A and B are shown apart, each in its own frame.
Chain A
Amino acid sequence: MRKGQYRFVTGFLLVPVALYVIFVIWPYLQTFGYSLTDWKGQSQTFRFVGLDNYRKLFQDDVFLEAIWHNILFLVFIPVITILLALFFAFMLNAGGRGRAGGVQGVAGAKFYKILYFFPQVLSLAILAVLFNAVYRSDGGGLLNGLLIKLGLVDADNPVEWLNEPNMVLWALLLVVVWHGVGFYLVLFSAAMQSIPRDIYEAALIDGASRNQSFFRITLPLLWDSVQTAWVYLGIVAMDMFVLVSSMTQNMGAYGGGPDHHSDVMSTVMMRNFLYYGKSGYACAMGVVMLLLTLVLSVVTLRATRRERIEF
């Protein structure tokens, strides 16, 4: 480096690093400290209890169940969203068969792109309101109203989508997927468009089918974007706080019902933190959540590492 450059770089790094330490690292350390106490959240008086909170955590059925729900989301949300987005993106960009043998999307691709992207514009809070109306448990709900009109559901026994232990997680999953597909479609589309046309054309001339050109060309060249999408969707799956707390049945506070069947780690944590006043205990949950997310992100990045293909 040239003379004076170090000072220049340091100057730029100092402020962000300081901010990061104050607003991210320090709260982390504080949280870890609190997790060793019986802090109740409304004052600064507490007792040191060692690892008691962590011991209790591993006997807390509600929290352990919540971890499983997060893992379930973690498996299904990225897989379903990415597969759908890839499929749609491929159809929009290379799915159509041109007259002159060129590569192009299906008819009306531009319009579909806008249409698909639309859900992404909505905030999670609006999404919750919207889907509460869709899943409403009486004849006034969109789904129930439709099914009753079609004679598929008895008007006296409408489906209580969010009040069915076996359905509630899937109902939430559908919302996330509906919300996310459009965004990843656009992301993948952009990446696909940067793949040189001639590669496709060469494949076409060699007689490749749609499937072959997708799996042999598109997917490998998109791998970086898919990996990014996976990480982002993993974050969504580990969180889920907004949707669960504003759509599902109340378990005292922060949703999670019926009977904790939709509780995720963050809702259990917030309930303990503020509603039950077990804040030290909730901090222990927070630390466990941090560890889990770190482990999962490392695993994800390792597992999806591939040789980069250059073009």
Chain B
Amino acid sequence: MGSTAHHDGEGVGRRDLIKRSAALGLVAAPGMGLLSACASGGGDGDSGEGGTKGKTSKDNPFGAKKGSKLDVVVFKGGYGDDYAKAWEADFGKKLGVTSTHTGTQEITGKLQPRFNAGNPPDIVDDSGAQKINIDVLYKNGQLLDLAEVLDAPSVDDPAKKVRDTLIPGTLDPGLQEGKIVALNYIYTVWGLWYSGKLFKEKGWEEPKSWADFLAICKDAKSQGIGGLAHQGKYPYYINVAIMDLIAKKGGLDAMKAIDNLDPKAFVGSEAAQEAIEAIYEVVEKGYLMPGTNGLTHTESQTRWNQYKAVFITSGSWLENEQLKQTPTDFDMKFLPMPLLPGSKLPFEAIRAGSGEPFVIPAKAKNLPAAKEFMRRMLSKEWSTLFAKQANSLTILKDGVDPSVRLRPGTQSTVEASKAAGDNTFRYLYTEWYGEMGTAIEAASNELMSKRIQPKEWLKRCQAAVDKQAKDPASKKNHRD
């Protein structure tokens, strides 16, 4: 450790200086990395149809141009991306438009710079943990109003508009300030799930009331099985149970009060109070699967697949997501949330709607082909392709060819939605107000971990609603 630095009082030596500036640079390094993440490319790309618009015809109302290129980005998650490849192949064959395909989980990482630089893809499935929030994209003027696609003639029946061939209400979640800017393509139901095999073994019946539900949890606990499992690291899931109880107890008004940021959405709402007290009873009586509050979605779902818990909350992507972990004789079944006494909606009522938003960026290079692609997504042929590859239903009414055999879980969701009929509901606050959603999720996690009581939960959720209501940008979203 010999030194060449000067230390005879004439200031900082050369080596010291270099060392010090290096150290300073290093200290600043993490800040730098993050800061430069903030910095953007800049510049606006030109949008539009110039050059990419071909001849329009009955089969090709938007004039997708033969030989042009379509840039498709698909979230490669629970549904994989094979379905999109099948579509793209068909698109190329029929219209001569070749596609560049990107299947990824890093939607934000890959697309944020492109949106920002005005160079987005032509069509995007904006889903998954790293999706770009639709409200954020919309507020930046990045999304095409899809009215034109929805009002175009349907592929299967040109006498009908595309929008009239869809399951009612499935367009709602794509709504921003009265415009449909995202096409939520997959028909999804949310609720509780259980194993038909376990139920048969234990001689349990599908619980229709909250009391029956608790009775099964109690019985299960006495046999060393957890009652309810949830995906604690992502409190989104337990909010499905909580919010569904509120909607079923208090009816659609209780649900809309939350979406519309009512000053009595939580505090002062009888439905909300009873629902959260009911959920808290599960926690208090120890009916949760041990440790479930800290597990990820795959961890807790896999535990559930191993018969460590009776029920779990999730949406209908669950079956496809757990394909590899599910025993062959598991017999996955869907269950609507059981009812609290005096509920306004019947037991059969379910949260149903659509997920997996597909968007067309307003600045897409090949708009005609993108629109045509989306129109064809809503044809029977492509919808069946999807059901085969991704093992799920689409928002197209009777969109799956009867020859396709569905898995037990998906089949049970089909039956549940038939039984529900018009008795479906769907929250929109998660799509409209990301920040408020996060605050409610945090409160729910505190409750599930027994760190706060129902009263405090109501207060915290109301505070989140009130805070959102104060934001001037929130006023434009409203549902009747």
A-binding segment of B49-57, B211-219, B287-295, B380-388: B287-295
Task: State whether the Cβ of A120 lies closer than 8 Å to any Cβ in chain B.
Answer: no
| CB < 8 Å neighbour of B38 from A194, A283, A296 | A283
Residues of A235-284 at the interface with B, using a CB-CB cut-off of 8 Å, are 235, 238-239, 241, 249-253, 257-260, 266, 269-270, 273-277, 279, 282-283
| Contact A296 B446, beta carbon cutoff 8 Å | no
In the assembled complex, which residues on chain A have CB atoms less than 8 Å from the CB atom of B293? 137, 160, 163
Q: B86 at the A/B interface (Cβ < 8 Å)?
A: no
Q: Does A8 contact B (CB under 8 A)?
A: no
Q: Is the CB of B116 within 8 A of A43?
A: yes
Instruction: Determine whether the beta carbon of B435 is less than 8 Å from that of A276.
Output: yes
Q: Is the CB of A138 within 8 A of B112?
A: no
Out of B1, B26, B291, which one reaches A138, CB within 8 Å? B291
> Chain B contacts of A266 at CB under 8 A?
30, 34
Cα–Cα distance between A307 and B49 once the two chains are bound (Å): 71
- B438-469 vs A, Cβ < 8 Å mask (1 yes, 0 no): 10011001100101000000000000000000
Task: Point out the residue from A42, A269, A273, A274 that lies within 8 Å of B142, measured CB to CB.
Answer: A42
B100 within 8 A of A: no
Asked if A28 lies at the interface with its beta carbon under 8 angstroms from chain B, I say: yes
Verify B290–A30 contact, CB threshold 8 A: no
The answer to whether residues A289 and B435 also contact, given A44-B116, A308-B3 and a CB cut-off of 8 A, is no
In this assembly, does A293 line the interface, its C-beta being within 8 Å of a C-beta of chain B? Answer: yes
Residues of B within 8 A of A300 (CB): 27
Query: Is there a chain B Cβ closer than 8 Å to A211's Cβ?
Result: no
Query: Which residues from A are CB-within-8-Å of B274?
Result: none
Which of the residues A44, A298, A308 comes within 8 Å of B42, measured between beta carbons? A44
Query: Which B108-136 residues have C-beta < 8 A from chain A?
Result: 108, 112, 115-116, 118, 129-130, 132-133, 135-136
Cα separation A258 to B129 with both chains bound (whole Å): 18
Report A-chain residues with C-beta under 8 Å of the C-beta of B292: 137-138
**With A191-B1, A259-B446, A310-B3: A31-B39 Cβ-Cβ less than 8 Å:** yes
**One of A78-86, A96-104, A178-186, A226-234 at the interface:** A226-234
The answer on a CB contact under 8 Å between B442 and A293 is no
Is A41 positioned at the interface, with any CB of B under 8 Å from its CB?
yes
Bound-state CA distance A165–B118 (Å) is: 42
Known A228-B23, A290-B35; judge A41-B449 contact (CB<8 A): no
The one of B31, B43, B141 in contact with A293, judged by C-beta atoms closer than 8 angstroms, is: B31
Check if A273 sits within 8 Å of B35, measured CB to CB: no
Given contacts A42-B137, A160-B449, A235-B29, contact A252 B294 (CB under 8 A): no
A235-B29, A239-B30, A297-B28 are known contacts. Are A257 and B445 too (CB-CB below 8 A)?
yes
Are A260 and B442 closer than 8 Å at their CB atoms? Answer: yes
Interface pair A275/B434, CB less than 8 Å apart? yes
- Verify if A27 is at the interface (C-beta below 8 Å from B): yes
* A311 proximal to B (CB < 8 A): yes
Q: A-facing mask of B275-300, CB < 8 A → 1, else 0?
A: 00000000000100111111100010
B58 within 8 A of A: no
Bound: A64/B272 CA distance, A = 31
Q: Is the interface of B mostly helix, strand, loop or mixed?
A: helix
Assuming the contacts A161-B294, A165-B451, A297-B23, asked whether A252 and B437 have C-beta atoms less than 8 A apart, the reply is: yes
Q: Which residues of B contact A286 (CB under 8 A)?
A: 31, 34-35, 38
- A155 adjacent to chain B (CB < 8 Å): yes
Are B295 and A137 closer than 8 Å at their CB atoms? yes
Question: Are A24 and B32 in touch, CB under 8 angstroms?
Answer: yes
Chain B residues within 8 Å of A130, by CB: none
* A42–B442 CB distance below 8 A: no
Task: Report chain B residues within 8 Å CB of A289.
Answer: 31, 34-35
Does A40 belong to the interface (CB within 8 Å)? yes
Q: Judging by beta carbons under 8 Å apart, are A293 and B132 in contact?
A: no
Contact with B along A31-42 (1 / 0, CB 8 A): 100100000111
Q: Is A28 touching B136 in the complex (CB atoms < 8 A)?
A: no
Assess the B36–A24 pair: CB atoms within 8 A.
yes
Contacts of A282 in B (CB 8 A): 38
A43 with B36: in contact, given A251-B442, A301-B20 (CB under 8 Å)?
no
Does A206 have its Cβ within 8 Å of any Cβ on chain B?
Answer: no
Instruction: For the complex, give the distance between the alpha carbons of A278 and B115 in Å.
Output: 15
- Given known pairs A137-B295, A139-B290, the reply for A44 and B44 (CB within 8 Å) is yes
Task: Say if the beta carbon of B7 comes within 8 Å of chain A.
Answer: yes
Given A30-B39, A31-B38, A249-B445, CB of A290 within 8 Å of CB of B28: yes
Whole-angstrom distance from the CB of B21 to the nearest CB of chain A? 11
Do the beta carbons of A40 and B140 come within 8 Å of each other? yes
- Is B299 a contact partner of A45 (Cβ separation < 8 A)? no
A156 touches B286 (CB 8 A): yes
Given contact pairs A250-B235, A251-B438, A163 touches B294 in the complex (Cβ within 8 A): yes
B139 on the A face (CB < 8 A): yes
List residues of chain A with CB within 8 A of the CB of B141.
Answer: 43, 45
Tell whether B40 is near chain A: CB-to-CB under 8 Å: yes
Question: Considering the chains assembled together, what is the distance between the CA atoms of A91 and B232 in angstroms?
Answer: 44
Q: Let me know if A17 is at the binding interface, CB within 8 A.
A: no
Chain A residue with Cβ nearest B27: A297
Chain A CB within 8 A of B37 CB: yes
* B5 interface residue (CB < 8 Å to A): yes
Residue positions of B touching A, CB distance < 8 A: 1-3, 5, 7, 20, 23-24, 26-32, 34-40, 42-44, 108, 112, 115-116, 118, 129-130, 132-133, 135-137, 139-142, 232-236, 286, 289-295, 299, 303, 434-435, 437-438, 441-442, 445-446, 449, 451
17 CB < 8 A contacts A-B? A31-B36, A42-B112, A137-B292, A140-B303, A158-B291, A160-B294, A194-B1, A195-B1, A232-B26, A238-B27, A249-B294, A250-B235, A257-B445, A275-B133, A290-B35, A296-B27, A301-B20
